[in-house]
Every structure is written in C-alpha cells, then in structure tokens.
Structure 1
Amino acid sequence: MSIKKITSALIAILSLGASHAQDYKQYPMWNASLPMEQRVKDLVSRLTLEEKVAQMLNAAPAVQRLGIPAYEWWNEILHGVARTPYKTTVFPQAIGMAATWDTAALKQMAYYSALEGRAINHLAVTEGKTGDRYRGLTYWTPNINIFRDPRWGRGQETYGEDPYLTGKLGAAFVRGLQGNDPKYLLAAACAKHYAVHSGPEASRHTDNFNPTPYDLWDTYLPAFRELVVNAKVAGVMCAYNAVYKQPCCGSDLLMSDILRNQWKFTGYVTSDCGGIDDFVKRHKTHKTNADASADAVMHGTDVECGNNVYRSLVDAVKTGLISEKQIDVSVKRLFTIRYRLGMFDPADKVPYGQLPMSTLEAPEHKALSLKMARESIVLLKNTGVLPLSKKLKRVAVIGPNADNRVALLGNYNGFPTRIVSVLEGIREKLGPDAEVIWQPGVGYTSDTIFTPDVENGFFRYEGQPGFEVQYFNNENLEGAAVHTGRVAAVNCFFSQGQAPAAGVSADHYSARYRSSFTAAADTTLLFQMEGDDGYRLFINDSLVANSWKGRLGVRNLKWNVQKNKTYNLVLEYRQNEDGAFMRLQKGSDRKADMQAIARQAAAADVIIYAGGISPELEGEQMWVNAKGFNGGDRTSILLPEVQTELLKQLKATGKPVIFVMLTGSAIAVPWEQQELPAILNAWYGGQSAGTAVADVLFGDYNPSGRLPVTFYKDDASLPDFKEYAMAGRTYRYYTKEVLYPFGWGLSYTRFKYAGLNLPSKITKGRAVPVSVTVTNTGDRDGEEVVQLYLSYAGIRERAPLRALKGFQRVSLKKGAAAEVKFLLKPEDLELISDAGKSYIPSGKLTISVGGGQPVAATPGFVQKTVSVQ
C-alpha cells in the first residue's frame, strides 16, 4: 500500500473515531430536558460491569466512550474549603462555630464555602482536572458525632456534646452548603461518621461498641436523623468501628434497618477511608476482599474510599456473592448525585456553574469569618478587669499561642492569604504608641524550647550550601528519580494538590535529601525533625531515626560528633496525601527561665497569656510525643502543668493576668479559675482569630459565645475513655459539680428573664408555645443566647437530668427588652425507653429558659412545672 493510501486510511479511521466520540451526545443520558432518573438509568445501562465497579471507588475514572469525566469523590469543607492549592477563607474550627449557637451564621458560612468550592470546581472542569482530589463538589462533612469525652482529639471537628444542638447546627450547615435550588445541589454534604464514633483514635479501626438501645437512640442517632430526614443531606459516611460486632459499613441495624428502611435515605454512602479493608484485616469479620465488598454494598455502602478493595466486586458478581443488579443500585445513587450537581449539563444552565476564582476570599466571606470568630469566644470568668482600656501604654503578651498561626487553623483546614495571630491582633488594636512586650515563654507541655541556629552553610552538598533533593512518583523511593534539584534547606510545605517540582505527583511521592556537615568541635548536636507522614534519617549510613510508617509529628535527635570530622546525612521522606510538610533544623534547647519571663512581663500594665493546646497536639490519628497526649487524643484534660507554673509566676508580679485559651476541647483549669481575674476561651478561631480576641479584650465586641461542651474539673471526673455508656457523661448525665457547665458564657452586660408563658397543661401530640421576656439591664449593648431546657420528674426509666430543646441568639441594646418565642414540637417532648423506643411520658415536666442551664452557676433563669396528659 502506498504512503498516500496509508495516510488516507488513517485519516478516515481518525475521522470515524471522532464521529463515534460525539455519538454519545445523542444518548438520553446527555439530554438535559429529560428527567434525571431517566438519564441516570440510561447511563448505567451503557456501562460494563467493570466500568460500574470502577465508578464505586472514590477516584472514579473517566469513561471516554460515553463522555463521562473522571471524578474524585473525596473533598473537605469542614470550616471552609480545605486542602486545595488555592487560598480560601478559613472560618473558626467547627467546635468554635458551635460555640456561636448561631444557625443563621453557620448556614451562611456553608453557603459561602460552597461558592468558593464551586469556583475551584469550575476551574478544574476548565483544566480537565475533575479527577484530582479536593476539586470536586462532594464534601465529606459535617462531622456530627457526639463529643462525649473531652479527650477525643477529633472532637474539635464536631458541634459539641449535645444531640439537639449538634442536629440543629449540622442541619443549618447542610442547608447552606446544598443550597435551595429545586433541581440542582450547590454542593453535596455528607453526615459522618455513622455511627457511635468518638475515639479513641489509636483503636478506631478495631473497636467494637455495644451501646444500649437507650444510648443509641437518645445520644448517638438523633443528629444523624435530623440531617437525613429533615435536612435531606446528600451523603452519609459510615464509621471505621464496629457496632454490635458488625463493622458500621456492613451493619444490619445501622445501614439496612435504620438508614435505608426507617429513615428512607436515598442518597449515597461512602466508607471512611480504608474502612472496607478493615473488615478483613482488623475486624476480621470477613475472609476475603470480595466477601467484605459484597457485604458492604448489600448494606448500602456505595463508595469505597482508600484501598480499591471494591475492585474485587467484579469477581464477587461472577462468583455469585452479589448480583449485578445490586451493583446497579449503588451506581445509580452515585450518578444521581453527580447529575444533581449539574455535572452532565451545560455550565450556563447550572446555577453557580461558572463562578470565577475571584469568589475565593471574597470580602463578605472574610467579614463573616471575623463575625463568627467574635461570636465563638466564650468569656469563662471576669472579675471586672475586662474589657481593657485601649489607652494602655505597655502590654505583655506571653505564651505558646500568642503568635502561633498554625493553632488558629484547626484541622481539616484551608489556608487563607492572611492569618491574624493573637499578638498581631493586640498590636493592631493598640496602635504604634503602645509598647507590646512578647515572648512564647514556654512550650505547650515543656519548659524547654527548641531554638534553631541561624548560621548559614552548616549543611553542604558537594561543597555548596544546602541539599540535593530527588523526587520519586511513589511512596517508597522506587525506580528512577523523576526530578533532581537543590534546596537551601529542608523546609518544605506544599498544600494538597500542589506538586513540589516539575514532573512530580501532587500525592503519594517520596523524596531523598542528601547533604553533609563538618563538626567544628567535639560536641553533641541537636536536630529537630517535624512534619507529616513518614521519614528516615541516616547519618554515615546508620539509620538514626525512623518513622517511615507513622506520622512524623515533632522529634528531636541528639548526635555526638568529633572535631573536623565530616558526616554524611540522608533524609528520606514519604508523602502520603493531604499536602506535604517536612523540616530538618539544627539548633539547641533553651530552658525557660520563668522568673526572668515574669520580671520582663512585670514592666507591663497588664499581662495577656495566650496558651492552651494546639491542633499540633490533638487531631486525627497522629503521632505526638508529649506528656498528656497520645495518638491524637489526650490522656489528661488538665492544662499542661508547665503552663500553670508560668501563670503562677506571672500572677506573682501583681499585675492583672488575663488567660486567653486556645483549644479544640474542654480544658480543666482549676487553679486558673480560682486565681486569675479573667479567662476567655477562643478555640481555634480561624483566619481572623487574633482580631476577634483583641476586639473582645478591649471591648469593641461584647462576648456572646456559649460552651457547646462541659468543662470538667479534673481527670478523675471522667469515665473510661472507651466506655460508650452515657452515664456520667455530658451535662445530660453528669451529676457532680463542674468547672463551667454546657451553655455557659459571660457578657459585659446583664440580662434579666421574666414573664415565662406556656400552657399549664400539655396535651400529647400537640405543639407547645413558650415565650419569655429578656431585658438587657446593663450599660452595654449585647447579644444573648436564650436557651430552653426540659426536665421530667419521677421517670422510672432512664432520662436526661435536663435536655436542651430550643435556643435563639438575640441582640439587645442597653435597656431594651424583647419577647423570645419558642414552639416545642411533639417530638421535642419525647423520651427514649430502655428498649430504644420514643414516647411522651405523663406527669410533671419542668420547662426552664435562661442564659444557660437551670443550675446554681447560672443565675436568672426562669422555669415552670406543668402537667403532661
């Protein structure tokens, strides 16, 4: 055949291929005028079994012959769009947003975050990167697990310990994120982790919990029901742990009976990442991946995240473990979500389908972040020292959180253009005429602080300062390096989705750093390694530090050296996912001189101590080598002893000491409560946390945050961490005195309650109107969170001591009054029987309304006892 004929044939074949490539546009699946259900059915009917199974993985590949783009289901938006290479608005951590008790603000926050996510997704569509992680529109949040124990490191991701508050806040988030368009979702929320899941982190893959039917329905399920039944959440994530000896993703009770049958959930379910793998390897309830996968799908788990275990579903169908029709059920659910997100319709037909990247960090988004940071701050104690005068000439700002921006971001976070630390917020508030004395003082848990050396040229590679770095597109340094270069130091930080160099993958890569150093004297050198994922450090070919399979955290290494001897250093780093952070520094330990710190601070008019803890110490399954912390959880709820010791030295100066506490959970501060004049809890307050703290400290904002968790007095107050019975836990079942009760929060003004109106008799099955008059009797404008609690007397079966059943945030000018109205629905009056059934008891019911729980620590509440018939 001649060259001319061959060329003509190739052109004909290519033309035919191009023609066929467009044929799919004629299929009903692409016809936007048809009902979604019909389109989804048509699409699924055209997929092979292998293609269907591939769509059930979190990283679903493209099906080019049908024009279906690749899609990555995994994305995060806990308190703003997270883990992208772009700058996004970061709101307070979830527990901080819970402290606002502001459903309207939370709904708006979710809406703004979804808009930013839409802009990122539109860019991904434009660039053909819909298969990249953290660019999709299915967000695996909110975390509505009940924060039953303050030691749980991931409690910061939740809305606190109360099922009612969690449900209402979670529902507001879902409605804001998913939007209100009748046809399309703005984004898809996902309620996690279903269910009975709240630590410990170290054993989450193997734990089996057996809650009583009462605790299951009274505590662990109500928030999920609220989101599924009432807020119509698009997705649910099943938890790692087992319940009643069945892994949650394969639970007869949780998945089949309750979620799909009782609650009629039609959305999609994803496993937690690696959760199906746990069936075989950790729970050992299934022998093979095919057994595990088939069982999970038959229980309604549509997406497997993590290890591609669902690929075994092809064999499971062929061997009769599961039918292809059952596979179709899951695939239809998944494509229904994608259709509802507008992924198969022209962008100009989909609301928000073409948002520009200028949507990110829009002025109104940043303003809301500041508003919520202000509202989240809880004034725990104030003897009158606050608010401070802005005319102060000298202020000392001390503490490990004073200038720590990492602590403000929490976990599951994005990265904004600017983060205002507590120190920076105070400096901006006081202006250039005031002197601000500052130093970290001590570490979180130790009085010894690592100080990096500033000398240049200590590390040298082939005679030049710095390191050689090689990158590999796998996690095990296998094969040839895809990029080789030089860096001045090992100090890398890359956001999720950001590749470290040309040709290097954004995830699942490894790096090898090479350098050497020559000792100037016989001495001991101190090196500090910190970062994420795994590492290995070799000196002169000896493996001296190894955390290849675990998270790095922060680790120090001492190494003896001889004068004039040269040492070769190799650092190997394994990047898994969610960005990269690796730093190696030479330096020295400096032991804090607390008396010297106090003498320096004594020159100020007032001392502001910014301490507490940090997401560097608590979070998801992390490696931490510090007293009081383990695996991401805490072993003690007490403020670390070293911080209390420094606070004692600062108090001894005779100057007022204000304690600004940053934390993701409750901290026991018995000495501080007794001895310090003012304490405020600022959580992990997001990008504007420092501004918000300064606004509260200096009276430009009247604090209005309320605790979403109980602050207990000490460790002895807590039951065993792994005990999931609710007896002795949370304000609903804890009978002893606490440090600060759930719902607690002070103001710079005072509120009076009067005129509680409600029927004297309540008829079962009817709604109950309740109203109360709230008056601001102080001399400042302020916001109050009006809280309504119910308590039954003489109940034979189990019942909460009291239970929150209503709340409203109201703003009142000084001297102003407002009538606040509630409408209790019949289900608000229900209790749970020992058998797990809901019922409304007859007898006496006490309804209390006030600025907190009806306990001695909360003055001013009003209440009435009525008869239920």
Structure 2
Amino acid sequence: MGYSRQIRRNRALSSVSTLLLCFLCCIFEKSNALSSPVFACDITGNPSLAGVRFCNTEAKVEARVIDLVGRLTLEEKIGFLGSKANGVSRLGIPPYNWWSEALHGVSYTGRGTNFSSQVPGATSFPQVILTAASFNVSLFQAIGKVVSTEARAMHNVGLAGLTFWSPNVNIFRDPRWGRGQETPGEDPTLSSKYAVAYVKGLQETDGGDPNHLKVAACCKHYTAYDVDNWKDVHRFTFNAVVNKQDMADTFQPPFKSCVVDGNVASVMCSYNQVNGKPTCADPDLLSGVIRGKWKLNGYIVSDCDSVDVMYTRQNYTKTPEEAVAKSLLAGLDLNCDHFTGQHAMEAVKAGLVNERAINKAISNNFATLMRLGFFDGDPKKQLYGSLGPKDVCTADNQELARDAARQGIVLLKNSAGSLPFSPAAIKTLAVIGPNANVTETMIGNYFGVPCKYTTPLQGLAETVTSTYQPGCSEVACVEPDLGSAAALAASADAVVLVMGTNQTIERENLDRVDMNLPGKQQELVTQVAKAAKGPVVLVIMSGGGFDITFAKNNKKITSIMWVGFPGEAGGLAIADVIFGRHNPSGNLPMTWYPQSYVEKVPMSNMNMRPDKSNGYPGRTYRFYAGETVYAFADGLTYTRFDHQLIKAPRVVSLRLNENHPCRSSECRSLDAIGPHCKNVVKGRSDFDVQLKVRNVGDREGIHTVFLFTTPPAIHGSPIKHLLGFEKVRLGKSEEAVIKFKIDLCKDLSVVDEIGKRKLALGHHLLHVGSLKHSLNIRI
C-alpha cells in the first residue's frame, strides 16, 4: 500500500471513528435519561391506583390478570400483542419492550436493553457451545444466575427489561449451521440438562416461589430449526420435513425439559415450517404440546417477525389479517415486532378471530409480567431492589467468565512432552494467526459490551515474551503472509497458531458450505509448522468443527485445542491451559466430520437416521457410524483416569399384568409407561449404576464421567445414547465413587417409528470409556 493511499485510509478510519464515537455518545446520553426503571402500579405517583385489584400484590396472579384485562378496550388490548407494548397511561401502565437477550451475558441485540455510563458493560461469558463443552451442570446454572443478577441490576436503573429471550436449545444437527455456536451441541441429553440449569439460573425459582421470577427466560427456537441460509435454502421459507420418530427423540426433548423440568416462562416459535405448517401457526405444536401436554406457565412468543414471514415470504395466508388470526388461534401470545398489532383489529372486524382469543393471549403476557413484579410498583422496593451498577462486572463475575472458558476448552491432540509449556523453558513464543489478537471475535454473536477484553496474544504475553504475526489480515485468509509467519516461527522456542472463524464465516443468517479452514489458513498452518524449530500448538477458535485431518496427522503440530468463542477472558483461559495453570477437562459437544461427509449430505435433509437405500449416512454420534475427525465427547487432559464398575444389575425382570398381550406372544418392546415400569426393584422404577474413578496420572485433574447405552437394535435405535454425565475433581492417586440413577422406562427406552416411547427388551450395553457392562431386560 502506497504512502498517500495509507494517509487517505487513516483519514477515512479517523472519520469513521469520530462518527462511531458520536453515535455511542448519543446512545449513552439517551440511555442515561432512563435513570429510573420502568414499572406499572406507581401508587406513590398515582394514589388512585391503591384500590385497583391488578395492583394488589396480595391478590393471586390470576385474579389480578382478570381485573386488568377487564379494564381494557379492544384497541388497548391489541397494543399488548407486540413486543413493544404501548402501555395505557390512564391505568398507570407504561410502554414496555419485551425484547431483551441474554444468551451468554446481557446483550444489546434486543431493543429492551441499553448500556450507558451508569453500566458501560456486562460480563460476557463464553459462547454457549464452549460452555456446553464443560459438561458441568452447576456451571450452567451459575452463569445463568450471574447473568440474571446483572440483568436485574440494569433493570433497576432503567437499562434493561425483565424478559430475556434465551437460551437457544436447538439441536446442532448439521456441522455447517451458522447458529450452532449458540446451542449446547448435538446431544438431546446434554441440551436438556443445559436448558434446565440455565433457565433455573436466570429465573431463580428453583426451590422458591414459581410466581416470583428474577427474570423470565425463553427457550427457542421451537422447533426443528437449524437451517439459516445455506445455498438456496433460507430459514424464512424452509419447510423442515421431520418424521415423528426424529421429532420425539431428537428435536423436542430440550424444549420439553425447558417447560416441564425448568418451568421456563416462555417458548419462542421459529421461522420455519414443520411438515408444511409454520410453527407459529400450528395449533398442535403450540396449544396442543407446549401449553396442553407440557403445561407451560407463561407466554409463547414468535421469532421476529415470524407472523409477517408466514404471509410475505411463505405465502401461507392470503392476507395479513389471516396470518394474525391463525397464529393467535394456534396459541401465539406475543408477536416479536409490530405485525400483529398492525393487523389484529382488521382480523377481528373480518370475523377471523374474536376478542376472546386476544384476551387469552394478553392474559398469558400479563401473568408473566406480574410474576416478574412489573405490576408491584417500584422494583427498588422489591426482592431484587438492592441490585444496581455495583453488581455488574464484579471481580467474581469476571473470574467466573475466565473459569467457564477454561472448563470448556477441549484439548484434542497432545504429543508426549508437548503441553503444558513450562514458562522457564519457553524464552520466546511466536503467536501467529488471524484470531491471535482479536476481541469481538471471542464473544460470538448475541453479544453486549464486555467488561473488558483479554486477547490470546495478551494472555500469552502475560506469561512469556511473545512476538506476534497475524499471517492473514482476516480470517478469510485470501493472501497469507507465509514468509513473515514462517520466519517468526523459525526464530521462536515454541509457536501458538490461533486460527478459525468469526461472524463473517458462521453466524445467524449465514451457514458454512464446507468443513475446511477458511481461505488459505491450512496453507499458513502447514508452512508455519514446517518452519518451526519447537513445538507447535494449533488453537481453533470457532463455533463449529473442521476437517483438520492434515493437522491431526502432522507430527510437527504437537497439540491441537478447540476454544470455541471463549468470551471476554478468552485470552487468559487459553494461556491458563497452555501453561498448565489449568488442567483441560472439556469434551466436544458435537462431532467433527470430514469434508467428504458434507459433500454428500444436504443441510435440508432433516432425517437423523441413516438410509442404506440411498447412502444417507445419518447424523450425530447417535446415528452416524462413519469416519470422524474427532468424535462427540473427545477431549484430553494432562493426567489419566481409570474406571471400575462397582454396582449395576445384569438382569432386570419386568412384571406384567396377567392380561398383558406380551405374556402370550413374543414381544421385542413394551410401552415405556405402565405398571411394569415400576416393578423393577422393590416396586421402584429406577436402579443405581456405581463406578469408582481413580486419577492414575501425576497431577490433579477434572474428569467428566460419561455413561452411554447401546440399546437393542430395534425401532431404528441409536448406535449409542448419552444417559448421563458427572464431573469429578481428583488429586494425584485420588479416587471417588460416581453414582448414576437410571430410570428404566425413561432412560433405557427408545422411540419407535410413530414417535412413541418403547422399552426395548433384550441386551442393553452400558459403557463408560472402555468399560462395558451388559444389562438384560426381560419379561
């Protein structure tokens, strides 16, 4: 680049920076005006509200809602069907913006949240996929609790709402999905446990009063949503063709757990259609399942703006009014954005929907706000009223962000004697790669303003002298600087390469097309490894996996780590693992496939199970038996663990009623419900599996004990399925006993071809690592 061109570029950047600073100042100035929280029933400011029943905190929620709805005109009611609720000044109800986000920290993606000089930032935890790699349920809940504390603190100074549309619990079905980074991975058991724990952390109703929420969580995107924008397939128009079996045993379990076990306050329906019907207009999915079978205590909200999409993009209805009516009658309560509010009145006038349906919808919305204390007056005088700016970005919160990243980092390769590095032995460290000195990349999408950043380069440089060379000017890596990078590697005692992606490669509305590192990253990695005189650590920063077989098989690349998008403290966490201050304990929450896999599997094929007739290989570790680069649950540590089985039954005999048809004819499976499910051991439905775990290495470590089962080959059952997992920390030569409680019909059942749970009779193989145990279920 010539000198004059560089000057012009600097002037342009200066102008952009000035405009950006002015823009931020305007935002902060505007949000500083919101020095007080938004709430209804301000009896101090409006004494006439003292005798109004919907403001009476002693009355039951249902009675308060009935009173409030009865006071509203139809036009006012319609104003509460959209995410930016109008409010009713004559009743002391201010406008309220429902849309806030808290995927891995308080985010400004939603329009209900702002940052200001009062609260300039919030703790930014690792993107969900990395947190999930910790397989630590208590960590999931701890993060949720911190996020809700910071959210409430911001609400109390008028910077945030109370309704947060998180978490994303969709299954990471296809490795190219741009939003896989937001999810807990490909396994329904892990996703369900994450969903419940994070929701409980956010809402803090666990063990308390379910009618007093700290904030309201929302599980999304319901359901079978995992294609955004791949080739000619777009989420707005995609019809997910899903059979009943896959729906029941893959796509629905995390949402069911959210509602039934997590008591989540909201579920968000998705853009896509499922088997020809938009999810937000499907009465079976909404009224039938979420509110009917699962008994949702809360509201159902559309993705933004799904109701508009079903009319304008999907052509599912002939008029906007019909789209509004169909969604309300299906069970939708709240439309993210304005479409429903614009067309609901005309829908009523046309006789497509009646006022009764609108009353039902807003009643669910109001009940949620009442559980949050929105109608209880000044929140500073309520349970969480003491929270404020002092509770955001605390030292403890930031340390938890660092620890969460450490716990999630997955060590995939480690040649003998490579990691951890000894600071005394590494005098010069070469830090190379387009993600080596990044900030925003580390926090993924749905982000806010972090408390602060520590880049990988900064984290490593805090321990040893480090020299930096990006090698590529951006992750697309069109023109790598191979010479400079190789020269630096040749002069250093060790090399850390930080490669991968960012939101220009994988994100919402952008799916990947292959499993290769972007651009010429592979060439850069190979040339640097060839030139290096010391050990080479390859760090992959990304939301999804890659075909890095070239690096796995390259002896010059001594170690490989996957760090997801590790959050604001990512650089510190990476350095902690590389220099041995933390013994890695993360495990992959998704399969890393070879490039050949995606070349023959279209993203649009929703089938989980393989199909021999057309060569379809199936998806995820549960159904795909082919070659992998790295497998689900892979992960190394700096020590070793042994397992020993202590207790597990070899035979479980079921007692059937005398008139049960399987007493007179041979059956391969039974319904996973009924008296036989409780006649296992002394009338109970569960039994214990106990294992002894011993650290046989030379240093303390944290270990995840995975209990899998391989059921009998019936009803297209999985190759193996995760029953449960437990974390244990053990010192050198220390041991512990891990107990798994197995519910026979819940945990050892499979889903048949019509979506019904069945208990398979015959041999089930339980396994933990190389330890295997045969369990026979018989009549």
If the length of structure 1 is used for normalisation, what is the TM-score?
0.76
Query: Which residue does 1:41 correspond to in 2?
Result: 66
Q: 1:390 to 1:247 in 2, by over 3 A?
A: same
Query: Which residue does 2:215 correspond to in 1?
Result: 187
1:59 and 2:90 correspond: no
Q: 1:325 to 1:593 in 2, by over 3 A?
A: closer
- Cα distance between partner residues in 2 of 1:663 and 1:262: 38
- Cα distance between partner residues in 2 of 1:121 and 1:358: 13
Deviation at 1:413, TM superposition (A): 1.0
1:296 and 2:311 correspond: no
Contact residue 390 and residue 698 of structure 1 kept, 8 A: yes
Contact residue 236 and residue 271 of structure 2 kept, 8 A: yes
For residues 780-811 of structure 1, what are the alpha-carbon distances to aligned partners after superposition, in whole Å with 9 as ceiling and x for unaligned?
A: 1000000011111232x211110001000110
Query: Which residue does 2:512 correspond to in 1?
Result: 634
User: What amino acid maps onto 2:427 in structure 1?
Assistant: K
Q: 1:256 to 1:395 in 2, by over 3 A?
A: same
- Cα distance between partner residues in 2 of 1:19 and 1:306: 32
1:598 and 2:476 correspond: no
Q: 1:868 to 1:806 in 2, by over 3 A?
A: farther
Contact residue 753 and residue 862 of structure 1 kept, 8 A: no
Q: Which moved more, 1:296-305 or 1:20-29?
A: 20-29
- Cα distance between partner residues in 1 of 2:651 and 2:45: 73
Aligned match of 2:228 in 200, 213, 236?
200
- Cα distance between partner residues in 2 of 1:155 and 1:68: 39
Aligned match of 2:571 in 674, 684, 690?
690
1:776 and 2:695 correspond: yes
Contact residue 205 and residue 278 of structure 1 kept, 8 A: yes
Query: Which residue does 1:360 correspond to in 2?
Result: 392
Query: Which residue does 1:9 correspond to in 2?
Result: none
Q: 1:19 to 1:147 in 2, by over 3 A?
A: closer
Aligned match of 2:148 in 114, 134, 142?
114
Aligned match of 1:616 in 501, 504, 518?
504
Query: Which residue does 1:248 correspond to in 2?
Result: 279
Matches within 5 A, 1:257-272: 257-272=288-303
Query: Which residue does 1:442 correspond to in 2?
Result: 472
- Cα distance between partner residues in 2 of 1:196 and 1:447: 34
Q: Which moved more, 1:178-187 or 1:827-836?
A: 178-187
Secondary structure in 2 matching 1:699 = coil
**Alpha-carbon RMSD:** 1.7
Matches within 5 A, 1:514-525: none
Query: Which residue does 1:325 correspond to in 2?
Result: 356
Contact residue 270 and residue 302 of structure 1 kept, 8 A: yes
Contact residue 264 and residue 297 of structure 2 kept, 8 A: no
Aligned match of 1:846 in 746, 765, 775?
765
For residues 644-666 of structure 1, what are the alpha-carbon distances to aligned partners after superposition, in whole Å with 9 as ceiling and x for unaligned?
A: 11111112124321101100011
Secondary structure in 2 matching 1:807 = strand
Secondary structure in 2 matching 1:847 = strand
Query: Which residue does 2:662 correspond to in 1?
Result: none
Contact residue 129 and residue 185 of structure 2 kept, 8 A: yes
Contact residue 480 and residue 524 of structure 2 kept, 8 A: no
Matches within 5 A, 1:352-431: 352-384=384-416, 385-391=418-424, 392-430=426-464
- Cα distance between partner residues in 2 of 1:257 and 1:447: 49
Query: Which residue does 2:723 correspond to in 1?
Result: 805
Q: 1:51 to 1:206 in 2, by over 3 A?
A: same
- Cα distance between partner residues in 1 of 2:139 and 2:273: 35
- Cα distance between partner residues in 2 of 1:252 and 1:313: 18
Secondary structure in 1 matching 2:768 = strand
Contact residue 637 and residue 667 of structure 1 kept, 8 A: yes
- Cα distance between partner residues in 1 of 2:687 and 2:76: 54
- Cα distance between partner residues in 1 of 2:775 and 2:302: 46
Deviation at 1:828, TM superposition (A): 1.1
Secondary structure in 2 matching 1:293 = helix
For the pair shown, the structure with the greater C-alpha radius of gyration is: 1
Q: Which moved more, 1:54-63 or 1:174-183?
A: 174-183
User: What amino acid maps onto 1:386 in structure 2?
Assistant: L
Contact residue 407 and residue 616 of structure 1 kept, 8 A: no
The structure carrying a bigger helix percent of its residues is 2
Secondary structure in 2 matching 1:442 = coil
Deviation at 1:447, TM superposition (A): 4.5
Deviation at 1:209, TM superposition (A): 1.4
Stretches of structure 1 lacking an aligned partner (at least 5 in a row): 1-17, 130-134, 449-590, 622-631, 851-859
Deviation at 1:341, TM superposition (A): 0.3
- Cα distance between partner residues in 2 of 1:339 and 1:351: 14
The structure carrying a bigger strand percent of its residues is 1
Stretches of structure 2 lacking an aligned partner (at least 5 in a row): 1-42, 109-113, 610-617, 655-675, 678-684
For residues 106-165 of structure 1, what are the alpha-carbon distances to aligned partners after superposition, in whole Å with 9 as ceiling and x for unaligned?
A: 1011011001000111111xxxx7xxxxx2111111100000011000110000001111
Q: 1:814 to 1:365 in 2, by over 3 A?
A: same
Secondary structure in 2 matching 1:56 = coil
1:830 and 2:769 correspond: no
1:282 and 2:313 correspond: yes
Secondary structure in 2 matching 1:634 = coil
Query: Which residue does 1:791 correspond to in 2?
Result: 710
1:712 and 2:593 correspond: yes
For residues 460-482 of structure 1, what are the alpha-carbon distances to aligned partners after superposition, in whole Å with 9 as ceiling and x for unaligned?
A: xxxxxxxxxxxxxxxxxxxxxxx
If the length of structure 2 is used for normalisation, what is the TM-score?
0.85
Query: Which residue does 2:734 correspond to in 1?
Result: 816
Secondary structure in 1 matching 2:491 = coil
Contact residue 437 and residue 601 of structure 1 kept, 8 A: no
Matches within 5 A, 1:1-20: none
Query: Which residue does 2:39 correspond to in 1?
Result: none
Deviation at 1:849, TM superposition (A): 1.8
1:234 and 2:265 correspond: yes
- Cα distance between partner residues in 1 of 2:477 and 2:145: 43
